[in-house]
């Protein structure tokens, strides 16, 4: 059984990705995490879900694969990656591919602490790529972001749109994509797929795993869910701008259920060895990028109303000025991912809000009350 290395696997998106990989019953998983914005409890709960969902005819190997190996480490420590690859080298379950989910990821915060964002997101990737080359591990699934498009001219956004990020966070993702493509061009064995996330939302329907950011959430939906359980109600909800060229004046985003997003990584794993997925590219190196979204934009006010319906909380809000780095509309064109990866988002807005509230109401204080 092949092994997948997932840096950042204890985080919100990472834990759902780990679960989706385990549920294929085709891979073992090793997680690297420094628990900067995540909790070990998430890994324990992923293991529980994976065990609970074992088929009746599961093999012993599949049962054993529900146990996740965990390495506590930091992207900025090159030795962390070197030790992880050497630990399994030569074994039948040596590391086959890497899914890099770990990153600092808040648009607003990135403009306040840019050095940290470049250090973690760029220098951390350099360390990983160097270690992968040394270990001769040639497959990478990279978590990128729709923020690489900046303010796109075409909505919904195709992958052919120019990359012109307007926030520090977006620039770290854009630079990372360029770096990965350069590595693919230089090393003919290296294959990589960048998945440009739109806005993940929701939680696993069990309510066992979900988003639990450290401190006040920097993203809209976890803030709304935590407000509904009584946290962060002072000074209240503030909406950044209502004068954008959108239907109600607030920013529009393409929200995708986190389980759909996580499933896209399995689609990418399945595709990364298929030459058909990399056709019409130069022979030196194999690199592709795909949007992961629903293709349907929702405004800030739409999301507030969706959460109001499931939580019963009124969400009084105040309109304030625009936030630097925000763009009016980021709605995906997911056609390419559907055509070439077989990816399709199955869950709608109501399910995202329902599953998010199921998680938050069952875990009002998160993983470590």
Q: How many CB atoms lie within 10 A of CB 89?
A: 11
218, HSE (Cβ side, Cα atoms, 13 Å): 14
Give residues with Cβ within 8 angstroms of 294, minimum separation 6: 198, 254, 255, 256, 260, 332, 334, 345, 348
* pLDDT at 72 > cutoff 70: yes
Give the separation between CA 118 and CA 285, rounded to whole angstroms: 25
Query: In this structure, are residues 286 and 191 in contact, taking their beta carbons and an 8 Å threshold?
Result: yes
Q: Are 146 and 196 in contact (CB under 8 A)?
A: yes
Catalytic residues: 169
DSSP state of 289: E
Lookup: tokens for 369: 């009350």
For residue 283, the model assigns a pLDDT of 37
Between residues 311 and 277, the one the model is more confident about: 311
Q: Where does the chain have alpha helices with state H? A: 12-22, 40-52, 60-64, 78-88, 107-112, 114-117, 124-135, 168-186, 220-228, 258-271, 300-311, 335-341, 349-362
Q: State mean pLDDT over 228-256.
A: 94
DSSP H or E stretch at residue 229: none
User: Helix (H, G, I), strand (E, B), or coil: what is residue 367?
Assistant: coil
State how far the Cα of 204 lies from the Cα of 16, in Å rounded to an integer.
7
Using CB atoms within 10 A of its CB, is residue 92 exposed (0-12), middle (13-18) or buried (19+)?
exposed
Residue from 69, 62, 70 nearest 27 by CA: 62
pLDDT confidence of residue 282: 45
Mean pLDDT of 76-83: 94
Q: Which stretch of 52-66, 115-129, 222-236, 267-281 has the lowest confidence by average pLDDT?
A: 267-281
> Could you tell me the domains of the chain?
2-362 (3.40.50.720)
The strand pair at 317-320 and 237-240 is best described as: parallel
Q: What percent of the chain has pLDDT over 70?
A: 97
Q: Which of 106-110, 321-325, 362-366 has the highest mean pLDDT?
A: 362-366
How far is CA 13 from each of CA 100, 213, 323, rounded to the nearest angstrom?
11, 11, 24
Is the pLDDT reported for residue 284 higher than 90?
no
Higher pLDDT pick, 325 / 300: 300
pLDDT per residue as tens digits for the range 150-202: 999 999 999 999 999 999 999 999 999 999 999 999 998 999 999 999 999 99
Phi, psi of 95 (to 5 degrees): -65, 125
Residue 37: band (very low, low, confident or very high) from pLDDT cuts 50, 70, 90: very high
């Amino acid at each position: 059984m092949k092994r997948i290395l997932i840096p950042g696997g204890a985080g919100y998106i990472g834990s759902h990705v780990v679960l989706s990989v385990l549920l294929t019953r085709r891979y073992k998983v090793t997680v690297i995490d420094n628990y900067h914005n995540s909790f070990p409890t998430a890994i324990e709960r992923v293991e529980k879900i994976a065990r609970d969902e074992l088929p009746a005819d599961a093999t012993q190997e599949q049962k054993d694969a529900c146990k996740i190996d965990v390495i506590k480490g930091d992207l900025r420590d090159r030795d962390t990656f070197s030790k992880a690859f050497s630990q399994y080298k030569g074994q039948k379950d040596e590391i086959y591919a890497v899914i890099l989910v770990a990153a600092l990821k808040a648009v607003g915060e990135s403009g306040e602490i840019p050095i940290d964002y470049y250090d973690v997101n760029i220098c951390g990737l350099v360390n990983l790529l160097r270690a992968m080359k040394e270990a001769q591990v040639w497959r990478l699934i990279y978590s990128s972001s729709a923020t690489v498009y900046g303010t796109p001219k075409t909505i919904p956004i195709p992958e052919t749109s120019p990359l012109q990020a307007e926030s520090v966070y977006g620039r770290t993702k854009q630079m990372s994509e360029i770096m990965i493509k350069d590595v693919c061009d230089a090393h003919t064995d290296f294959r990589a797929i960048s998945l440009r996330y739109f806005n993940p939302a929701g939680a696993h329907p069990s309510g066992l795993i979900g988003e639990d950011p450290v401190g006040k959430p920097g993203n809209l939906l976890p803030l709304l869910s935590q407000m509904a359980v009584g946290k962060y109600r002072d000074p209240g909800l503030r909406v950044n701008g209502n004068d954008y060229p959108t239907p109600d004046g607030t920013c529009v985003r393409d929200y995708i259920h986190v389980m759909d997003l996580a499933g896209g990584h399995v689609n990418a794993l399945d595709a990364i060895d298929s030459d058909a997925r990399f056709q019409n590219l130069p022979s030196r190196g194999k690199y592709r990028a795909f949007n992961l979204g629903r293709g349907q934009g929702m405004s800030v006010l739409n999301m507030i109303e969706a959460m109001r319906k499931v939580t019963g909380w009124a969400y009084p809000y105040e309109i304030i000025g625009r936030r630097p780095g925000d763009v009016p509309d980021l709605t995906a064109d997911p056609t390419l991912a559907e055509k070439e990866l077989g990816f399709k988002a199955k869950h709608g807005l109501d399910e995202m809000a329902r599953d998010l509230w199921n998680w938050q109401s069952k875990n009002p204080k998160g993983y470590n009350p």
